[in-house]
């Protein structure tokens, strides 16, 4: 139930995002989700791609500092309060959400939410037991 996500450390300078996307294009790597976090000196680009192992290999070969981590992807219900319920379940069960971001797979569908959580296996079980839809890799790559 985990999804491999790549975190790429980049200088916070013009053109570095383009370098990564150009490299992925050159190697036929499909980006499914992408988000950038920044500080004044560097940024962290987090992305979910169709072939994370290949992406990591080509990034390292080109001198990028990158790593793979596992994240949980969920699809909350399309109603007011569903995100609150998700975070309430996690808080009540003593999970720490390190970060989250969302992405949309198809128009008119609810966005998926990526969650980096401590104790991911336990968190996945608790989310499923509480009716939260946890997305698998096939669901992301088949759309």
- Token pair 């980006």 in the structure block, residue: 31
pLDDT value, residue 108: 55
In this prediction, residues 72-85 reach a mean pLDDT of 90
CA dist list (Å): 2 to 11, 23, 124, 128: 28, 25, 9, 13
pLDDT value, residue 142: 61
pLDDT value, residue 62: 94
Q: Burial level of 4, CB count in 10 A (0-12/13-18/19+)? A: middle
E strand segments, the chain: 2-11, 31-38, 42-49, 65-75, 97-103, 112-117, 133-135
pLDDT value, residue 107: 56
pLDDT value, residue 110: 65
Residue 81 is given by DSSP the state T
In this prediction, residues 39-55 reach a mean pLDDT of 90
Q: Does 94 have pLDDT greater than 90?
A: yes
Taking alpha carbons only, the member of 72, 68, 56 closest to residue 2 is 72
Domains within the chain, CATH numbers bracketed: 2-69 (3.30.2130.10), 71-142 (3.30.2130.10)
* Spatial separation of the C-alpha atoms in residues 32 and 2, rounded to whole Å: 15
pTM comes to 0.81
Task: Record the tokens describing residue 82, joined without a space.
Answer: 């569903």
In this prediction, residues 47-61 reach a mean pLDDT of 95
Q: pLDDT for 4-43, tens place per residue? A: 999 999 988 888 889 999 999 999 999 988 998 877 778 8
Q: What is the β-pairing status of strands 133-135 and 2-11? A: unpaired
pLDDT value, residue 39: 76
């Amino acid at each position: 139930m985990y999804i491999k996500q790549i975190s790429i450390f980049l200088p916070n300078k013009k053109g570095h995002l383009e370098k990564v996307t150009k490299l992925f294009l050159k190697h036929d790597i499909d980006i499914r989700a992408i988000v950038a976090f920044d500080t004044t000196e560097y940024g962290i680009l987090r992305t979910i791609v169709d072939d994370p192992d290949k992406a990591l290999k080509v990034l390292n070969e080109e001198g990028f500092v990158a790593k793979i981590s596992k994240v949980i992807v969920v699809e909350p219900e399309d109603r007011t309060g569903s995100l609150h319920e998700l975070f309430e379940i996690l808080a009540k069960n003593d999970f720490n959400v390190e970060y989250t971001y969302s992405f949309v797979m198809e128009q008119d569908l609810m966005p998926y939410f990526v969650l980096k959580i401590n104790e991911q296996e336990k968190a996945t079980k608790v989310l499923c037991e509480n009716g939260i839809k946890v997305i698998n890799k096939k669901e992301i790559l088949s759309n």
